[in-house]
Amino acid sequence: MWLSRWDDYLWNDIADFMNSINQAIRNRNEYPVFRMYENDDGLYLVAEVPGVKPEDINLELNDNVLTITVEKKPEEDENLTVLRSEREYGKFIRSFQLPFKVKEEDISAEYKYGILRITLPKAEEEKPKKIAIKSA
């Protein structure tokens, strides 16, 4: 009887460990998740980063590559003991090669309710030019 319970605990621990490895492999480059939009004015990125403070998010633009670094820190309560945690913590980095040059001085970012919105206006030389057609 006692050995049977010990086996159950052992196999549950092994299953939890294997699930965490599988999840880490599947999600290793997928956080934070992004959606990217483009129009004639620029590029817009929307990222889901719930549970993160704005000061734990860093944006850098270098050689037309936008890098987003997010650090998720676990909540700690001295009065509680964690029995199971399926949330991931740590430092996450995503980089995007931008498809065109942007006006660096006009880049803006806003964080509200766990959603990060980044606006990257196109440089003037990248915007489409209208060509007037003269009648003969």
What percentage of the chain reaches a pLDDT higher than 70?
84
- Answer whether residue 129 shows pLDDT above 60: yes
Q: Is the pLDDT of residue 18 over 90?
A: no
CATH number of 33-126: 2.60.40.790
Q: Measured between alpha carbons, how far is 34 from 131 in angstroms, rounded to an integer? A: 35
Residue 75's pLDDT is 78
User: What are 57-77's pLDDT values in tens digits?
Assistant: 999 999 999 999 999 888 777
Q: What are phi and psi of 99, to 5 degrees?
A: -80, -5
Q: What is the pLDDT of residues 109-125, one digit of tens each?
A: 999 999 999 999 998 88
Radius of gyration of the chain (CA): 23
